[in-house]
Amino acid sequence: MSTALFTNKLPFLTVIVLLINYVVVSCLRISDVSNESFISLSSTNGIGEGNHRNNHTTMFLPLFPPREISPPRGELSRRHLQKSPSSACMPLHDDLLLNGYYTTCLWIGTPPQRFALIVDTGSTVTYVPCSTCEQCGNHQDPKFQPEMSSTYQPVKCNVDCTCNNEREQCIYERQYAEMSSSSGVLGEDIVSFGNQSELAPQRAVFGCENLETGDLYNQHADGIMGLGRGDLSIVDQLVEKHVISDSFSLCYGGMDFGGGAMVLGGINPPSEMVFTHSDPLRSPYYNIELKGIHVAGKALNLNPQIFDGKHGTVLDSGTTYVYLPEAAFVAFKSVVMKELHSLREIEGPDPNYKDICFSGAGSDGSQLSKSFPSVDMVFSNGKKLSLTPENYLFRHSKVRGAYCFGIFQNGKDPTTLLGGIIVRNTLVSYDRENERIGFWKTNCSKLWDTLNVSSSPPPPSPPSGMDNRNSTAHMTPALTPSVPSEYYAPGEIKIGLISFDMSLSTGFSELKPRVPELAHFIAQELDVYFSQVHLMNLSTKGNDSLIRWAIFPAGSADYMSHTTTMEITSRLAGDRLHLPDTFGSYKIVKWDIEPLQKRTRWQQSYLVVVVALLVILILGLSASLGWFIWRRRQTPTPYDPLGSVETMTDEKELQPLN
């Protein structure tokens, strides 16, 4: 066979290979349920940002995360980041700068009663409003009803606690620097960590509030989840029971998206994680050994001892912003402002505060490093934590493309207080066992899905006949979803999809850019992953919109359990979604559940068939190709004498010169 003949076969073989590739890819697409992620917003302005500066001067205060996803510095993978065998992995909700805090959900009692609690490393008690509370605010969920829990027990007066006047029961009281307070009695009950947590429900002591004041009274969240050092801390109690290692981690979302993840228990830290020593005897809080700050690669001219005054440098998840000693703040402000060459200083969003703000940086938060300098925190061991502008700026709520310093002077207090803004898009590992705290820059809004936690048994089911208004196990007949008998499978109901129509009336000129943000809040309220919430349809007329949403099973699961379905549908049926006021008013028009679609024998085995066909075709093509090459080598090439006519078939005859 000649070379020309062999070459002519190549286009044919190429077409065959491309056709096979197309068939395989198409089949693989058929098998996957659409799991489309929403695009991050770049034009959303913060609402109410900059209004909490003086409210968080010390160890607590609702935080508030921004809405922007910065480019991750490390890719998340189960190979790179793994949790220890015994741990509770829980999603974080809300937004540091919008709400003033991050929350997670706990279930208390039997049957379980759900509560959205602020995660606070500066508090040592976990507490929720009690049904007997006469001065508690209107929060996200109903008050805890001890009388409705078959496993609740009051903590009786003993030598290790402060007792009430009757010396019958232990009490607690907490006061915070922004003048809010909480007090009540101590009780013990079963605490559950959610359907996705592999940690089994545990008995724990918590506070049952009888009095709230200040921000605690006004906040939307139900209470506080105390992660500080102390016997009543939920972390200390779980460690004491030997169900988790002496460690936990928090990861707060970035400037354009809130949310994140929390792990109670140890993780295998990424190799890029930067650690610093944390002395448990230095103060009651989580201290780090900060020795210097660099701006644009240049060290601030400061004595390292300035970061060791009073309580030292404290990392507090319950505080929103960063508060530096006076000399450190003045130096930081001066150097940063010298680096801002193309920006214009403007007034802050609230005339009651002297915010330092600048315009002209553009609305895309991921591009802020082009306008604002980088900042490094230098620890005593010489390690550096590199910060991006989102770690020290917040969006101006009134001027598009403007930003303000999220770092302030801590009055005359020499303590350095690092709030949640400094650890945006940063996984923070509180490794108490080894007396160290680690930092790793990453995309916290996606960390929860990346951990890919396998579903664990849900919170314990209630005894028959038990009634509880704040329980997913009980609903009035009018709210109970009717599930056709064909949805049942042996042992449990298998639901493949929950859809619902939402009527929304907002003041937005265009709702579509805010859809990802809205999806985050819906995921939070339904206690599902963000990746489970899918936009199916959106129609808008003026300020009124009709949106169809769908909730899909989590991760690689094929269906949702009966417990999860009842939890979601009970909230939909009762219009129990708490959306921010910025989204106006809403109403769930209708909702529906769809059964898991049974796969045919072909659908179940199609991948095996496709792979088998692919192998056969590849072997066939390889054999054909080998035969062509063998034939070519076996065919002798004829000898053509020099000057043969056949060698000039493509040449034109030379014309004689005239």
Catalytic positions are: 120, 316
CA angle (31 as vertex; 27, 32 as ends), nearest 5: 120
Q: Is 649 exposed, middle or buried (0-12, 13-18, 19+ CB in 10 A)?
A: exposed
Contacts of 113 (CB under 8 A, 6+ apart): 107, 141, 142, 144, 145, 148, 149, 468, 470, 471
Contact assessment for residue 113 and residue 190, using Cβ atoms and an 8 Å cutoff? no
Say whether 201 sits in a helix, a strand or coil: coil
Backbone φ and ψ for 487, nearest 5 degrees, come out as -75, -15
End-to-end CA distance of the chain: 45
Angle between helices 562-573 and 515-526 (to 10 degrees): 120
Reference 252, options 315, 323, 328, 311; nearest CA is: 315
CA 530/CA 528 separation, integer angstroms: 7
* 64: DSSP letter: -
Say whether 538 sits in a helix, a strand or coil: strand
Contact assessment for residue 497 and residue 593, using Cβ atoms and an 8 Å cutoff? yes
For 261, half-sphere exposure in the C-beta direction (CA atoms, 13 angstrom radius) is 30
CA 313/CA 322 separation, integer angstroms: 11
DSSP secondary structure, 107-168, as one string: EETTTTEEEEEEEETT----EEEBTT-SB----SSPPB-GGG-TT-EE-B--TTSEE-TTSS
CA angle (319 as vertex; 432, 417 as ends), nearest 5: 70
Contact assessment for residue 265 and residue 247, using Cβ atoms and an 8 Å cutoff? yes
Contact assessment for residue 209 and residue 183, using Cβ atoms and an 8 Å cutoff? yes
| Residues counted in the chain | 658
Contacts of 658 (CB under 8 A, 6+ apart): none
* 254: DSSP letter: -
CA 361/CA 460 separation, integer angstroms: 51
Backbone φ and ψ for 114, nearest 5 degrees, come out as -90, 140
CA 465/CA 136 separation, integer angstroms: 29
Q: Which residues pair with 261 in a beta bridge?
A: 91, 251
Tokens representing 134 are 């006469």
Contact assessment for residue 100 and residue 62, using Cβ atoms and an 8 Å cutoff? yes
CA 391/CA 409 separation, integer angstroms: 16
Backbone φ and ψ for 607, nearest 5 degrees, come out as -65, -40
The single-letter code of the amino acid at 458 is P
CA 489/CA 549 separation, integer angstroms: 26
CA 620/CA 492 separation, integer angstroms: 47
